[in-house]
Amino acid sequence: MNTPLTYAMIGGGAGAFIGEVHRKAIALDNTATLVAGALSSTPERSLESAKQLGLPDNRSYGTYQELLESESSRSDKPDFIVIVTPNDTHYPIAKAALEAGFHVVLDKPATHTTEQAEELLQLARSKSLLCCVTYNYTGYPMVREARALLSSGELGPLRKAFVEYHQGWLATDLESSGQKQASWRVDPTRAGLAGALGDIGTHAENLLAFITNQEPHSVYATLKTFVPNRALDDDASVMINYESGAHAVLTASQICIGKSNALTIRVHCELGSIEWNQEAPDNLIVTKLNANPTTYTRGGPDLHQDTQLSSRIPAGHPEGYLEAFANIYRGVADHINAVRTNTEPTRLAQLIPTMTAGKQGVRFVEACVESSNSNSVVNL
Amino acid sequence: MNTPLTYAMIGGGAGAFIGEVHRKAIALDNTATLVAGALSSTPERSLESAKQLGLPDNRSYGTYQELLESESSRSDKPDFIVIVTPNDTHYPIAKAALEAGFHVVLDKPATHTTEQAEELLQLARSKSLLCCVTYNYTGYPMVREARALLSSGELGPLRKAFVEYHQGWLATDLESSGQKQASWRVDPTRAGLAGALGDIGTHAENLLAFITNQEPHSVYATLKTFVPNRALDDDASVMINYESGAHAVLTASQICIGKSNALTIRVHCELGSIEWNQEAPDNLIVTKLNANPTTYTRGGPDLHQDTQLSSRIPAGHPEGYLEAFANIYRGVADHINAVRTNTEPTRLAQLIPTMTAGKQGVRFVEACVESSNSNSVVNL
Amino acid sequence: MNTPLTYAMIGGGAGAFIGEVHRKAIALDNTATLVAGALSSTPERSLESAKQLGLPDNRSYGTYQELLESESSRSDKPDFIVIVTPNDTHYPIAKAALEAGFHVVLDKPATHTTEQAEELLQLARSKSLLCCVTYNYTGYPMVREARALLSSGELGPLRKAFVEYHQGWLATDLESSGQKQASWRVDPTRAGLAGALGDIGTHAENLLAFITNQEPHSVYATLKTFVPNRALDDDASVMINYESGAHAVLTASQICIGKSNALTIRVHCELGSIEWNQEAPDNLIVTKLNANPTTYTRGGPDLHQDTQLSSRIPAGHPEGYLEAFANIYRGVADHINAVRTNTEPTRLAQLIPTMTAGKQGVRFVEACVESSNSNSVVNL
Amino acid sequence: MNTPLTYAMIGGGAGAFIGEVHRKAIALDNTATLVAGALSSTPERSLESAKQLGLPDNRSYGTYQELLESESSRSDKPDFIVIVTPNDTHYPIAKAALEAGFHVVLDKPATHTTEQAEELLQLARSKSLLCCVTYNYTGYPMVREARALLSSGELGPLRKAFVEYHQGWLATDLESSGQKQASWRVDPTRAGLAGALGDIGTHAENLLAFITNQEPHSVYATLKTFVPNRALDDDASVMINYESGAHAVLTASQICIGKSNALTIRVHCELGSIEWNQEAPDNLIVTKLNANPTTYTRGGPDLHQDTQLSSRIPAGHPEGYLEAFANIYRGVADHINAVRTNTEPTRLAQLIPTMTAGKQGVRFVEACVESSNSNSVVNL
């Protein structure tokens, strides 16, 4: 059994959405305990948020710099730092946290530029620290089943994939109403180069890479902005070429009225196919050549070990988004425990997304933006 | 904001399924902290399980009697006791816990007999203590939406309901393999009068009552045992008459190969219908007279307040079984805080199932067994 | 190749629903040609309808008696007679047609009483004539696949079945608006003993018998009339006991707002299950013990011969209600050709429902009505 | 009421798939009677096929030239000619038929080149003859509902569409087994410039144009051939730009194991969306801004007139592929009757696809092939 871990959080104060998700995901499996925080962009709000979360005064900080300085010198310093600040601050904070010697869990997208991502990647590597990027959709058990099926070779080589991430909540100019989630996502200074592509397209790209175990060789992308006066794309369509000759179509859009969080993937190989839908995540449809479609279910028969390890409760008792997210954190904890005990990382630890994936996502966005601007194919 | 609560657990030691579910459900929202336990049926295993959960030695107990005696005299005694032992021990333990002055959360079915349930009901009432029975499926947001829709009157009076709870895992004599979950469920001394009917049929009955806000007036039931040498029913079919003239068909079966945890309900009223499926719990299909079927979604537009309060994350980010279970505990905590602060209980507190529902479930099982044995209609 | 056949129709004039369905079903596969008709309940309207259908004057009749007398004496007399009149006239017309020496296709329910059905059954048998009753849902290819799967024994013996036929169109008193389809169905003199039970419940009963190849031994039924002032049931719930120990629940209702023609069946056997839904008729979900659910599709791999013979176009090109209906007529034609040529009937001919099924349906209705009235179990 | 029509068929002899589909579609509604045929590519097989279909000897022809010459001089000449020969012969036969003064129904794709299509278009126009191209998927009632909804303006201007046509039957080199349907489709001399793109991609393109009432302005396409030794594409991905600023992604593939005939379309407009799936064709999901998804059903409430006219039987009684195809022929007949009687064409007549759509489809294929070869955007 693992020793209980502790963590500090940067960002995720009152009113933030994703910080609360991280905390619940960590709490669900009793993976770690929150012991310190610098939770908001102003010292006052940071301290107020820390109080609401019941943090002791001496571990509630006004800024991330104070947190890192103070916590890194404690004998009971936290095992890892969770960074859930707006995109534009990921790079400096993650860099500082790694330099202070902490394992880091960083919300996606990792950074604004590939260079920044590469720097964090090298920094983590040189200090033997984890820098996990929370591509949380890879935490779903049946996504892991899909990956295991493709890895096993029984479906044959990849031919064609379709991955979509469609939402409808930005079909109107919600940002002009002051809605917080909308505002930063459409602001280039905070969101970065891309809108929908960066916010959700990178999840789609990562899901595709995770399942197929292949990286794009070149892309042709068209980015569109349908809502008037919006600065960034709210709709992206990408064709992906692989060196193997395989091909994929990726679309990410936030103007699809009727869609909530419709992340779906279909992967067609030479000997079979898989199909998965994030809104019905416990199922995976598998069809082998000349056979009928079969619905595999979390908790059901014939599943790979990675899938079984990523599941808590029996088939038919739905697990969801938070449980998938929590699987990432179980892997983080397993990684840290493996480092501590100098043992082999568990399967769960091996499945977590790291800065390698984070960098890949940033590079993908850059290439797509360049392709769309130049109306030409761009190599990654 | 609520003061943080603490709880003790009786039952739920190593290898138990439902105890872990309760703990995760409580942890998810940081609703309360486990501070004491008497976790298994033997002192040795109890203490071993307590150690695994990180409980301090002085609050780890070999028996529930020790726990209640010791904890009730502490100044920092737990706010409530969670009882997740086998069915046959619910009554004495819950009785002792209430007598010791604790709020109680009791796994279903509440007791073996209606008389026992009535006694617990009166005991809790006389001491102004909560005795919550974890009919957890009522914690799903869209179940609460269904209830709110029917309560609002906009669908008109109830006519006909269909509720099903179908599983397949007991289609073979799994119990003879020593599988722990199967063994006690088919053993009359532990499970009580009924098998599938008591284990899952009571969930269906409670779901129906929760949504329709009506109690059965009489039943005609047929209980079947399909697996050879099994002592209790593994399949139950019940026709339910209501005083209002409405009618319902309830079926519960554990021999339905292909079904995992297929709890579904369809309610047809004079002016509209609702349809819900536990395996896709974030959706509720609503059809009004002369209109097209519409899919309401957790987090979506046009939902009642009870539904919104029972949801954590946006539409399209699936919540599941644990989240629904956690909603019950949020209501428990709200109830206890309301008692403490002498304030009105919140909506979440008002929605939790109590011993009134628990007793109704026990009476329902008794009436169905009597009906099946006598091949006649039995009044409740 | 079969010689082209001809037929005459009794009933099915202007404004009738089911007569047009029969004609389209016959035309689809060029199964037979309409050559004569007595199409309505008055001579004037009969002749007017015949003219609209392009029938020659000398084969257009005012009454069925005239049709039978005149056509039976022709050298080119029709190969069979289709009877699509209101329920109450089925018996005398079918009797007269058989006595006149014609093969008969009779809409369901066959007759008002079991005695009448038995008489027609014996009459047809004694004259070696076909008396097909159009339980058209047995014409669906995937229903035939279900039957073939159960017959093969690979799913093991039947344990439990659930069959439902739910509609919503009679949720209000449509009959008082003068709607023709509604009016006769709720009128005991025309519809017979039962409303929803007779109109659609008998389809459900027949579908269940067709797939399971078992007949009910006894029933317990509750018939309800939810719409005020309606004379017959608009909702029926039936528990069915089989001699084998198997059990089934059948529900038929016409007050289910939101349901169009929701005929579904789930059959659970000892080694596997099947599930079919008339509104998605090209699919059949098959789950074998300890395996995942698999979706068989019309035109797909691994289908029995009966299924393949009942299909026209490739998988994914939907066939529907008319195609299923047409399969019955292909069987009728094959039967007649087999009689003509004194050869073995084809598989399609062997699959058609005859008066044996027709009588069973009438007896089922009688038993359910008696059970509901007496509130007791009734043997068939 | 329309006068009964007659038709001759060229192609569609024994063993052909699509000829039989046309005949059944025409027979279903008694739309017209087959009176003459030149059914196969050799005179012997043509005459043999004609005999099997029961055509009289004097109207059974060995070649299409004989048919056109002989039939055009008859006083009772057929009202229209159905051409269901391989793609490469469409142009000369259609040209000859139009020159002989016949209305023509031509299977898609219309011709091999845009020039040929333009010539047929002008020829038909100059002679006031119909040249219908059977883009049969536009015959589905709920596709017509989608078109009517978009035309009404209530969903606002088009933003983004996704249309897919995925099949799996050519995932292996079926053609090398001699399978007839596979062989010609992968043979450039018979199929034309494109494989999957021409065979099914053009259906997708036409469906998109029919529903949105917009034509592509430019395309970027990637054609892939995944099965070794195949001469034409078996997978196509196309990005479509519209002059309005709207965008669409179209994919057509025949190597998608697990897909039968998965033609789906999702159209997202400024105020709402529609979603349709050919394999569940009686449903259309409509979501309006800030509202829940609603399922419209053929035969259900709130449908446009075009939809109602295209439906035969009540909601819940599935119609399928043949019924949709038959709707095209009902429109053809209505058109011919309108010409005959010099009256306004009915709505059904106005909805049929003509050579304008046929030419558009050919041009689309050419532009996509050019784009894929040049790896650049091509204007249409």
Segments of chain B assigned to CATH 3.40.50.720: 5-134
Residues of B in contact with A137 (CB under 8 A): none
pLDDT digits (tens, 9 = 90+) for C139-173: 999 999 999 999 999 999 999 999 999 999 999 99
3-state SS, residue A275: strand
Q: Which pLDDT value is given to residue A3?
A: 64
What token pair was written down for B83? 């009882």
Residue A155 neighbours by CB under 8 Å, 6+ apart: A149, A269, A270, A271, A272, A273, A274, A288
Q: Which pLDDT value is given to residue A1?
A: 45
Q: Which pLDDT value is given to residue C16?
A: 82
A·B CB contacts under 8 A: 103
Q: Do A320 and B315 touch (CB under 8 A)?
A: no
- Specify the length of chain A in residues: 380
Residues of D in contact with C319 (CB under 8 A): 318, 320-322
Q: Does B293 touch chain D (CB under 8 A)?
A: yes
Q: Do D291 and B297 touch (CB under 8 A)?
A: no
pLDDT digits (tens, 9 = 90+) for B178-194: 887 888 888 888 888 99
CB distance B131 to B94 below 8 Å: yes
Q: For chain D, positions 10-49, list CB contacts with chain A under 8 A.
A: none
H or E segment and range at residue C173: none
Q: Does D302 touch chain B (CB under 8 A)?
A: yes
Q: Residue D58: CA atoms inside 13 Å, Cβ hemisphere, count? A: 3
Residues of B in contact with A317 (CB under 8 A): 260-261, 320-321
What token pair was written down for A20? 């609360």
A·D CB contacts under 8 A: 112
pLDDT digits (tens, 9 = 90+) for C87-96: 999 999 999 9
Give the whole-angstrom CA distance, residue B109 versus residue B359: 9
- B140-310+360-379 CATH fold: Dihydrodipicolinate Reductase; domain 2 (3.30.360)
Nearest-neighbour CA in chain C from D260: distance (Å): 5
Give the whole-angstrom CA distance, residue D206 versus residue D165: 12
Q: Which pLDDT value is given to residue A7?
A: 98
Q: Which residues pair with D10 in a beta bridge?
A: D38, D83
Judge whether residue C1 has pLDDT over 80. Answer: no
Q: Do B292 and D293 touch (CB under 8 A)?
A: no
Segments of chain D assigned to CATH 3.30.360.10: 141-312+360-379
User: How is the beta sheet containing B103-106 ordered, strand by strand?
Assistant: B32-38, B5-11, B80-84, B103-106, B131-133
CB distance B64 to B29 below 8 Å: no
Judge whether residue B8 has pLDDT over 90. Answer: yes
Residues of B in contact with C245 (CB under 8 A): 224, 226
Nearest-neighbour CA in chain C from B178: distance (Å): 18
Q: Which pLDDT value is given to residue D2?
A: 55
Nearest-neighbour CA in chain C from B293: distance (Å): 6
Q: Which residue is closest to D299 within chain C, CA to CA?
A: C260
Nearest-neighbour CA in chain A from D117: distance (Å): 31
Nearest-neighbour CA in chain D from A265: distance (Å): 13
Residue D4 neighbours by CB under 8 Å, 6+ apart: C54, D30, D32, D33
pLDDT in tens, chain A (380 residues): 456 899 999 999 987 889 999 999 999 999 999 999 999 989 999 999 999 999 999 999 999 999 999 999 999 999 999 999 999 999 999 999 999 999 999 999 899 999 999 999 999 999 999 999 999 999 999 999 999 999 999 999 999 999 999 999 999 999 888 887 888 888 888 888 999 999 999 999 999 999 999 999 999 999 999 999 999 999 999 999 999 999 999 999 999 999 999 999 999 999 999 999 999 999 999 999 999 999 999 999 999 999 999 999 999 999 999 999 999 999 999 999 999 999 999 999 999 999 999 999 999 999 999 999 999 999 99
Q: Do B320 and A318 touch (CB under 8 A)?
A: yes
Reported in sequence order, the residue ranges of chain D that DSSP labels E, i.e. its strands, are: 5-11, 32-38, 80-84, 103-106, 131-133, 158-166, 218-224, 235-241, 247-253, 262-269, 272-277, 283-288, 294-297, 378-379
- Kindly report the CATH class assigned to C140-304+360-379: alpha beta
Using alpha carbons, list the distances in angstroms from residue D45 to B8, C238, D9, D52.
Answer: 86, 57, 14, 10
Q: Which pLDDT value is given to residue D17?
A: 86
CATH code of the domain occupying A141-305+360-379 = 3.30.360.10
Q: Which pLDDT value is given to residue C27?
A: 96
C172 secondary structure, DSSP code:
S
What backbone torsions phi and psi does residue A273 show, to the nearest 5 degrees?
Answer: -140, 155
Cβ atoms within 10 Å of D340's Cβ, excluding its own: 12
Interface test with A, best of B2, B9, B28 (most A CBs within 10 A): B28
Give the whole-angstrom CA distance, residue B99 versus residue B94: 8
Q: Do D171 and A287 touch (CB under 8 A)?
A: no
Using alpha carbons, list the distances in angstroms from residue B45 to B50, B61, B62.
Answer: 8, 10, 8
Interval B335-348 mean pLDDT = 96
Judge whether residue B1 has pLDDT over 70. Answer: no
Q: Which residues pair with C153 in a beta bridge?
A: none
Q: Which pLDDT value is given to residue D3?
A: 64
Q: Do D302 and B291 touch (CB under 8 A)?
A: yes
Cβ atoms within 10 Å of A245's Cβ, excluding its own: 13
- Percent share of chain C, pLDDT over 70: 99
Using alpha carbons, list the distances in angstroms from residue D75 to D69, D78, D79, D173, D211.
Answer: 13, 9, 11, 49, 40
Q: Do B237 and C253 touch (CB under 8 A)?
A: no
Reported in sequence order, the residue ranges of A114-169 that DSSP labels E, i.e. its strands, are: 131-133, 158-166
Q: Do C322 and D319 touch (CB under 8 A)?
A: yes
Q: Does A182 touch chain B (CB under 8 A)?
A: no
Nearest-neighbour CA in chain B from D286: distance (Å): 9
By DSSP bridging, strand C247-253 and strand C235-241 are: antiparallel
The chains found to touch A (3+ Cβ pairs under 8 angstroms) are B, C, D
**Residue among C177, C200, C8 at smallest CA distance from C87:** C200
Q: Does C159 touch chain B (CB under 8 A)?
A: yes
Segments of chain B assigned to CATH 3.30.360.10: 140-310+360-379
Judge whether residue B198 has pLDDT over 60. Answer: yes
Residue A296 neighbours by CB under 8 Å, 6+ apart: A142, A145, A283, A284, A285, A286, A302, A303, C292
Residue B152 neighbours by CB under 8 Å, 6+ apart: B304
Q: Do C297 and A295 touch (CB under 8 A)?
A: no
What distance lies between CA A261 and its chain's CA centroid?
A: 14
Tokens 């994929």 map to which residue? A248
Interface test with A, best of D166, D268, D269 (most A CBs within 10 A): D268
Q: Where are the alpha helices (DSSP H) in D53-166?
A: 64-72, 90-99, 114-126, 141-152
The angle at the Cα of D113, spanning D108 to D115, to the nearest 5 degrees, equals: 115
Cβ atoms within 10 Å of C376's Cβ, excluding its own: 15
Segments of chain C assigned to CATH 3.30.360.10: 140-304+360-379
pLDDT digits (tens, 9 = 90+) for D277-308: 999 999 999 999 999 999 999 999 999 999 99
Least confident of A303-312, C14-23, C266-275, D35-44: C14-23
> Directed axis angle between helix C114-126 and helix C355-374, to 10°?
170
By DSSP bridging, strand A5-11 and strand A32-38 are: parallel
Q: Which residues pair with C275 in a beta bridge?
A: C266, C285
Q: Do A171 and D237 touch (CB under 8 A)?
A: no
Residues of B in contact with A278 (CB under 8 A): 316, 318
Residue A260 neighbours by CB under 8 Å, 6+ apart: A167, A168, A169, A279, B297, B299, B300, B314, B315, B316, B317
A345 secondary structure, DSSP code:
P
Interface test with A, best of C274, C286, C292 (most A CBs within 10 A): C292
**Is 3.40.190.10 the CATH classification of the domain at D141-312+360-379?**
no
| Architecture in CATH of D5-134 | 3-Layer(aba) Sandwich (3.40)
- Percent share of chain D, pLDDT over 70: 99
Q: Which pLDDT value is given to residue B244?
A: 97
The chains found to touch D (3+ Cβ pairs under 8 angstroms) are A, B, C
Q: Which pLDDT value is given to residue B3?
A: 64
CB distance A6 to A332 below 8 Å: no
Q: Do C171 and B289 touch (CB under 8 A)?
A: yes
Q: Do B314 and A261 touch (CB under 8 A)?
A: yes
A·C CB contacts under 8 A: 28
Q: Do B292 and D291 touch (CB under 8 A)?
A: no
pLDDT digits (tens, 9 = 90+) for B17-30: 899 999 999 999 99
Cβ-nearest to B295 among D290, D292, D300: D292
Nearest-neighbour CA in chain A from C311: distance (Å): 17
Q: Does A128 touch chain C (CB under 8 A)?
A: no
Tell whether pTM > 0.95: yes
CB distance B227 to B217 below 8 Å: no
Nearest-neighbour CA in chain B from D303: distance (Å): 10
Cβ-nearest to C321 among D20, D28, D318: D318
Q: Does A177 touch chain D (CB under 8 A)?
A: no
